[in-house]
């Protein structure tokens, strides 16, 4: 008699889907740090702002990749739906790129970062915007591969783009192209990722039309994700990316460089865990009963609570080491310590956020992001007016820590509410 195959554990399923994303995100996190080796401190301030734009342009996708994962997990993602999601995903980088180009001349003067001419900075922003728009297309098809369990295809799309980004940026830096290297790296990676996504992802999707009932449900979900996930992303980016632009307006390039390097190192564990936990969207999408979801949450959080403190300590140690090469504008230990606590608390929200997203309720995340965005905006304003960098760092960290713990305390109630 044939023996029954043991079902894969949650950890194995998440690692299968997340490992390619971990490798790709690790490479993506390394690329911005390369600038600190090849460019001056003032130039690195521009480099850091360009790198945050790259993150903003990619992440501000109205939840299209998350929805692609959810739909693919239930065989509801067709070619026409994927094209619609790709279009939604690529528009924000292009629109926000135009905004960045228009705003930069004023911002550069106000922040005292006009050492590089506009003819150098503005093309950098354009390259990043176009590259991120192309990369957004690839990310939609990588997400659909995750939902359907096609981990090899997902890995090829993600790692292919990340590898090209690293090699292109490094080649341009060694050729003496300075901050423009970041833009050329993003553009080349975006082109490769879009080609891989369309080649490996689009043709694997069904071309058949869905029934009228299912089609209406898919359109309803697209509308829901556009509204709620779009607002979630907008608030999240304001909290985790516009912080660098706020520090720039305080007028201390040394603090900006120190804060940016510490933050980039400290978010590496979170980026890796987000990559692994993305599989929870598919798991949550398949869950039908409250007991199943509660067990899924328990198992995923158990994995996270073991890994995240160890990873945060390791990242914090590396962040301190990286700051030793800089002229510090703030005590290295205090800055790294408060940021580590804030990012660790926020990491704890990852499983419940992704499970709720898979259940079609991304709007629950707003219940802590709206207060957090309001508080951090006040911190940005006070710090800029008082030109106080330490107020900014401590205020941001305390806000993130407190609001993340609030969501963590309420997560089970949110899941229970989603079944009503």
Query: How far from 355 is each of 45, 46, 74, 226, 301, CA to CA, in Å?
Result: 37, 37, 15, 18, 11
d(CA 415, CA 420): 10
Could you give the 3-state DSSP secondary structure of residue 372? Answer: helix
Residue 5 burial by Cβ neighbours in a 10 Å radius (0-12, 13-18, 19+) = exposed
Whether 371 contacts 404, CB under 8 Å: no
d(CA 197, CA 204): 10
168: its two tokens: 């292109």
- pLDDT of res. 285: 64
DSSP string, 141-162: HHHHHHHTT-HHHHHHHHHHHH
Q: Which residue's structure tokens are 């995923």?
A: 300
The pLDDT of residue 357 is 79
**How confident is the model at residue 305, as a pLDDT?**
82
User: What is the residue whose two structure tokens read 């039908």?
Assistant: 288
Identify each DSSP E strand in 207-304 by its residue range: none
- So what's the pLDDT on residue 37? 75
* The pLDDT value given to residue 19: 63
Query: What element of type H or E holds 189?
Result: helix 180-200
Helices (H), 206-252: 212-224, 230-240, 242-250
- pLDDT of res. 20: 64
DSSP 294-359: HHHHHHHHHHHHHHHHHHHHHHHHHHHHHHTTS--SS-HHHHHHHHHHHHHHHHTTHHHHHHHHHT
Measured distance between the N- and C-terminal CA atoms of the chain, rounded to whole angstroms:
44
Q: What is the pLDDT of residue 21?
A: 65
H or E segment to which residue 85 belongs:
helix 79-110
* 96 touches 61 (CB < 8 A): no
Q: How many residues does the chain have?
A: 420
| Integer angstrom CA distances of residue 208 from 201, 218, 229, 244, 398 | 16, 14, 28, 46, 51
Tokens 């924000």 sit at which residue?
92
pLDDT score for 185: 92
Q: Which pair of structure tokens corresponds to residue 289?
A: 């009963």
Helices 41-59 & 118-147, crossing angle to 10 degrees? 40
Please choose, from the candidates 254, 253, 221, 259, the residue with its C-alpha nearest in 3D space to the C-alpha of residue 361: 221
- What's the pTM? 0.68
For residues 81, 351, 59 and 92, what is the CA-based torsion angle, rounded to 10 degrees?
A: 50
What is the pLDDT at residue 7? 46
Q: How far is CA 301 from CA 260, 289, 353, in A?
A: 29, 19, 11
pLDDT for residue 177: 85
Tens digits of pLDDT across the chain (420 residues): 343 444 456 655 555 555 666 677 667 777 777 777 777 777 777 888 888 888 777 777 777 887 788 788 777 787 888 888 888 888 888 988 898 899 888 887 776 766 667 777 889 899 999 999 999 898 889 888 887 777 788 888 888 888 899 999 999 988 888 888 889 999 999 999 999 988 888 877 766 676 676 777 777 777 777 676 677 777 877 777 778 778 877 867 788 888 888 888 888 888 777 777 767 776 766 666 777 888 888 888 888 888 889 989 999 999 998 888 777 788 899 999 999 999 999 999 988 888 887 777 777 888 888 899 899 989 989 998 898 888 999 999 999 999 999 999 998 888 888 776
- Per-residue pLDDT, 3: 39
Placement of tokens 């508080």 in the chain: 375
């Amino acid at each position: 008699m044939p023996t029954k195959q043991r079902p894969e554990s949650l950890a194995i399923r998440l690692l299968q889907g997340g490992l390619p994303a971990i490798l790709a995100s690790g490479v993506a996190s390394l690329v911005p740090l390369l600038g600190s080796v090849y460019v001056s401190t003032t130039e690195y301030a521009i480099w850091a702002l360009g790198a945050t734009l790259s993150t903003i342009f990619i992440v501000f996708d109205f939840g299209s990749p998350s929805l692609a994962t959810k739909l693919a997990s239930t065989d509801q993602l067709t070619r026409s739906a994927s094209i619609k999601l790709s279009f939604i995903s690529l528009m924000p980088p292009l629109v926000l790129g135009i905004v960045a180009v228009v705003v930069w001349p004023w911002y550069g003067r106000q922040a005292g970062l006009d050492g590089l001419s506009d003819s150098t900075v503005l093309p950098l922003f354009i390259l990043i915007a176009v590259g991120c728009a192309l990369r957004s297309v690839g990310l939609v098809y990588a997400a659909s591969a995750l939902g359907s369990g096609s981990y090899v295809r997902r890995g090829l799309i993600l790692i292919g783009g990340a590898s090209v980004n690293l090699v292109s940026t490094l080649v341009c830096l060694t050729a003496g192209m300075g901050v423009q290297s970041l833009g050329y790296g993003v553009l080349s990676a975006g082109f490769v990722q879009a080609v891989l996504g369309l080649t490996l992802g689009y043709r694997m999707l069904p071309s058949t039309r869905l029934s009228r009932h299912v089609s209406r449900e898919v359109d309803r979900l697209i509308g829901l994700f556009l509204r709620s996930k779009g607002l979630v992303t907008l608030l999240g980016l304001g909290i985790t990316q516009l912080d660098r632009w706020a520090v720039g307006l305080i007028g201390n390039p040394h603090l900006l460089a120190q804060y940016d390097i510490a933050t980039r190192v400290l978010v590496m564990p979170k980026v890796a865990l987000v990559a692994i936990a993305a599989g929870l969207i598919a798991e949550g999408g398949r869950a039908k009963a409250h007991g199943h979801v509660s067990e899924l949450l328990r198992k995923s959080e158990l994995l996270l609570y073991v890994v995240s403190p160890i990873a945060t300590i390791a990242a914090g140690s590396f962040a301190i080491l990286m700051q030793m090469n800089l002229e510090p504008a703030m005590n290295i230990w205090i800055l790294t310590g408060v940021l580590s606590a804030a990012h660790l608390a926020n990491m704890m929200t990852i499983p419940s956020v992704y499970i709720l997203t898979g259940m079609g309720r991304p709007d629950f995340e707003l219940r802590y992001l709206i207060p957090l965005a309001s508080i951090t905006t006040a911190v940005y304003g006070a710090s800029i007016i008082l030109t106080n960098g330490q107020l900014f760092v401590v205020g941001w960290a305390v806000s993130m820590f407190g609001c993340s713990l609030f969501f963590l305390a309420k997560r089970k109630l949110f899941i229970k509410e989603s079944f009503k």
